[in-house]
Chains A and B, each alone.
Chain A
Amino acid sequence: MELVNIFIKSAFIENMVLTYFLGMCSYLAVSKTVKTAFGLGLAVIFVLGITMPINWLINNYLLAEGGILGQDLTFLRLILFIAVIASMVQLVEMVIEKLSPSLYNSLGIFLPLITVNCAILGGNLFMVTREYNFTESVAFGLGGGFGWFLAIIAIAAIREKIRYSNVPAPLRGLGMAFIITGLMGIAFLSLLGIDPAAF
C-alpha cells in the first residue's frame, strides 16, 4: 500500500514536470508531435526505473558512513550519480539495439538526450533526501517516470491541436507551450484532494 501511495504521489501529485519543472528542456523540445513524445516518455520511465535502485545501492552501501568503505563519502554523490546515469543510458542503448532494432530505431535518437534530462538526476536526488528504502525507490522511479511520460504526451497532443488556433504571433510556439504547461499544472493540482490511503 505504501508503494502504491508513493507511485500515485510521484506520478500525479508531485509530477516531475508540472510541479518541479524537471526535464523541462527535452519536454519542450521534443513535444511537437505525439509520436516522438511517446518514444522519449518510454525511455525516461525505463532509465528512471533502472538508475534509481542502482544509485540507491551506491548511496547506501558505498557512500554512506555505515557502508562497506566505512567512510562518509557523500561528497562524491553527485559525480557518481551522474556517471551511473550516463553509463546506464549508454548500456540501455546497446541492449535495446541488440534485442530489438525496431524499438531502437524509434527511441534511438532520444536515448543519449536522457543523460542530461534533469528528471533523472532530480529523481535520484529526491530519493536521497526523502530517505526511501530500496523498494520505495523503485516505486518512486517508476511513478516519476510515468508522470513525466503522461505530461509529455498530453502537451504534445495539445500542441498538435493548438497549431490551428489564432495565437498572437509573439506568443506562438514556445510562449504558448509555457502557458499550457502552467494550466496543466493547475489541473494536476486538483488531484491534491486524493487521499493516498484510499488505495
Chain B
Amino acid sequence: MHSKRYIYTFVLVMTAVVALVLALMATGLADIHERNAAIYNKKAILSAVDNYLEQPSSVLSDEQVMEIFDQQVEQVVVDAGGDPVEGRLAEDVDLAKEKDKPEAERHYPIYILNSPKGKVYIFSVRGNGLWDAIWGSIAIEDDFSTIAGVAFDHAGETPGLGAEIKDNPSFPAQFVGKEIYEGDGDYVSIKVRKGGAKDPVHEVDAISGATVTCDGVSEMMYRGLKNYEPYIDRVKK
C-alpha cells in the first residue's frame, strides 16, 4: 500500500509531465494548425468558383490555394451600409460571430477573384438548416446578378437527405447561370422549390425528403445576399 504522501506526489508529478508535453506540442503545432484551417476555409471558398479556375478546387494543392489567394483574390470587408471597412481582411470575418452583433454594426466579407476567365464576386452567407447552421459561398459575375457558382456546407444535416446540399454536386450545379435580380433592379434572389423549379431564371429544384433544409437554403440565399445589396448598389454606380 502506498502512503498518502506518495499518492499526492505521484499525481502532481504526472500532471506536470502531461501538461508540459501537451503544452509543448500545442505551441509547436499551433502555426501548422492555423495554416491548415486557413487553407481549408480558402479551398471551401474557391470551390464556389470551380469554373473560373484552371483546375477544380478539389485537386488544388495547399500551395496552389495560397498562390491563387495571393495573386488573384482581393479581400474586401463591408459594413451594413455597403461601405468598405479599412484594416480588416475578409478571412478574419466570421459570420457566426457577426450574427450576435446588432444589425447595423455587422461586417460582411467579400472575395473578389480576378481570374483570366473573368471577374467574380464571392459573397458569404449563413443560415439555419433542419438541425443546425448551414453556410455557403455565392459567386456572382460582374453584372452583379448572374450566379457564377455556389458551394454549401452544414454543421449537422441528415446524411443522404439535407447533407446532399454539400455531398451531391448536382445540387449546387443547378444555381450556375441563375439571376438574383429581375430585369433591371428588383431583388428576388434564388428560390429552392419543392416539386421542381417553375421559374427558369430564379428557381432551382429541391432535394426530395429534405424540405426543411432546402427552405433554409432559400431563406439563406434571400437574406444573405440582401445584406450585400447596399454594396452592390454602390459598386454598380
Contacts and interface: CB of A to CB of B under 8 A. Distances in A.
Interface of A: 9, 13-14, 75-76, 79, 130-131, 192, 195
Contacts of B40: none
Contacts of A76: 19, 22
A13 B158 CA distance: 10
Nearest to A71: B23
B155 interface: yes
Contacts of B156: 14, 130
Contacts of A13: 131
B158 A75 contact: no
Contacts, number: 19
B161 to A, nearest CB: 8
A195 B212 contact: yes
- 8 A-B pairs closest in CB distance: A75-B26, A75-B22, A76-B22, A9-B131, A192-B158, A130-B132, A79-B18, A76-B19
B25 interface: yes
Contacts of B19: 76
B155 A130 contact: yes
Interface residues of B, number: 14
B130 to A, nearest CB: 8
Interface in B18-54: 18-19, 22-23, 25-26
Consensus secondary structure, chain A interface: helix
19 contacts: A9-B131, A13-B131, A14-B131, A14-B156, A75-B22, A75-B23, A75-B25, A75-B26, A76-B19, A76-B22, A79-B18, A79-B22, A130-B132, A130-B155, A130-B156, A131-B96, A192-B158, A192-B161, A195-B212
Given A75-B22, A75-B25, A130-B155, 11 more contacts: A9-B131, A14-B131, A75-B23, A79-B18, A79-B22, A130-B132, A130-B156, A131-B96, A192-B158, A192-B161, A195-B212
A114 B5 CA distance: 29
Contacts of A195: 212
A130 B132 CA distance: 8
Contacts of A14: 131, 156
Interface in B79-103: 96
B198 to A, nearest CB: 24
Contacts of B161: 192
Interface string B95-122: 0100000000000000000000000000
Nearest to A197: B212
A50 B18 CA distance: 27
A134 B96 CA distance: 18
Nearest to B22: A75
A31 B221 CA distance: 47
Contacts of A130: 132, 155-156
Nearest to B131: A9
